[in-house]
Chains A and B, each alone.
Chain A
Amino acid sequence: MTATTGTTGRWGEAGVVARPLLPASLFYVVFFAVPMLALFVLSFWRANGFVLIPDLTFDNYEKIATSSLYRVLILRTITVGFITAAIVVPLAFAVSYVMRFVFETRGQVILQLILLSLFSGYLVRIYAWRTILGKQGLLNSTLQWMGLIDRPLEFLIYSNFAIVITLTGLLLPLAVLPIYSAMSNISRDYLEAARDLGAPAYTLIRTILVPMALPGLRTAFAFAFLLAAGDFVTPTLVGGTQSLLIGNVIADQFRGIGSNWPLGAALAFVTIGIVLTLYFVVMRLIRWVTTW
């Protein structure tokens, strides 16, 4: 896939250039592309207990299309993904703006702190939110101790609220990364020129900052929306019975009692299809709004 791109057009030179690309490319093909394909093929198979039976059946997809349970779960997953992305992206935008244009070089230190949190404890941080938001958790017990509330606030935990709070914390650093890097290409002069000419803040945002940081915003939205929609650990630990997401069902099909791999594979692809379609619709909308 990379071997034919030399500068001289001669195979020898091109081969030398491509050689360092080979191991990782091969690894990606064998352990990323092929497994995705295998998962797709599996979604047309059948399962009999733990035995997978090769087939070309649309039964799994039919089951998903006709089940109201899956429809509810997919809809809820998309809603949670959207709400999370709708909070994460503007928040990351504001954080990046402050780091880039208010703190300038000192912003680098804050960026490092934000990135450090990205790599410190995925599972641990989700669990931590459960202990913070729990019925007898840190927040409730502190508020009660201070006498601000009589009874624990029940909506804090085992709810969609808890899921969104947790996912936002997990995904914010990941969203800051591309937006900040896109903003570092925006010159301060543009903002000052526009300000000198009397442009109000929202005009600066709409006509300079958003269009110029658009590639970063797009990546950030992709991270936030796709990863929030695909998470199953967060709903397991902080979601209630009424806030399970499609990821929980998919995970259970692969590692749970009465698992069904082909059905899980089909569920994964239906979700990916819907999520990707929505992603492109949103990207279209953003482009339409910004060129408008």
Chain B
Amino acid sequence: MVKALSSNLLARGFLTLVLLYLYAPIVVIVLFSFTTSPRLSMPIEGLTLAWYQNAFANPLITKALTNSLILAAIAAIGAGLMGAAFAFGMMKLVQPRLRQALLAASLLPAVVPLLVIGISLAVLFHGLGLPQGLRNTAIGHVLVSLPFVVLTMNARLETFDFTTLEAARDLGASSFQTFRDITFPQIRPSIVGAALLAAALSLDEFVVTWFNIGNEQSVPVLVWGLMRRGVDPSINALASMLLFLLVCLVIGSNFIGRRNT
């Protein structure tokens, strides 16, 4: 009894430390986006919103934000639809080994370093004569989001009841009708959830973007430029806004994706 209690305390302490380690960077950035001292050090002198005003005064930010939102929308729709269809198609396969192999293959882009994906896409587009810019970057974003969409859709579809589809077909519905009236309404929340995740991944993507966006801007590219120029406290404000958007998207994705199914 005593042993169980102490091991429980130990476990709790351990997980707290791990979570602290994971969240410390995020907390620090948000906290120091509100402090008056431009240097990130203790003790904190005072609080201000000036860095947010500074961030918005940067002429590049509107451009970067617009571009990032366009990219996120394309990634959400492109990866969301293709990934959902892929996961759904996999479910219909009867041989489990084939399904496993397809799942593993579809996750490959998540194991290849983004650097390699980024430069290989740059080489492809160069070969095709397509100049760097938002179009190339958008394709890259769809590619890096796809594995995560397939993975989450796959997990959600495991509880999907395929007998309702057979029932519909038996009652004379065409395959299109079955999809429109039975399948789609049931899996729609999962698709929206996965698409929001893709949007979050796109919004946060830097490496593939860096090699394909050319002279265009996106929020992470802007943040990178500021970081390399030295300590600019408006980075913290910009980063905090990015974090806020990301957290909203991921929580939204989880919340919507878990509804029904």
Contacts and interface: CB of A to CB of B under 8 A. Distances in A.
Contacts of B112: 226, 230
B102 A116 contact: no
A292 interface: no
Nearest to B31: A138
A90 B229 CA distance: 37
A121 B243 contact: yes
A31 B247 contact: no
A223 B111 CA distance: 6
A91 B18 contact: yes
A-B residue pairs, 7 tightest by C-beta: A230-B113, A128-B25, A20-B89, A141-B41, A35-B120, A21-B89, A24-B86
Interface of B: 7-8, 11, 14-15, 18-19, 21-26, 28-29, 32, 39-43, 81-83, 85-86, 88-90, 92-95, 98, 102, 105-106, 108-124, 126-127, 139-140, 142-143, 146, 150, 175, 197, 200-201, 204-207, 210-211, 220, 223-224, 227-228, 235, 239, 242-243, 246-247, 249-251, 254
A250 B117 CA distance: 12
Given A131-B40, A254-B211, A264-B119, A121 B204 contact: yes
Contact of B206 (A114, A122, A132, A264): A122
Contacts of A131: 28-29, 32, 40
Contacts of B251: 116
A257 interface: no
Contacts of B142: 27, 31
Contacts of B139: 31
Interface of A: 2, 5, 7, 16-21, 23-25, 27-28, 31-32, 34-36, 38-39, 42, 52, 91, 94-95, 98-99, 102-103, 110, 112-117, 119-125, 127-129, 131-132, 134, 136-138, 140-142, 145, 169, 172-173, 222-223, 226-227, 229-233, 236-237, 247, 250-251, 254-255, 261, 264-265, 268, 272
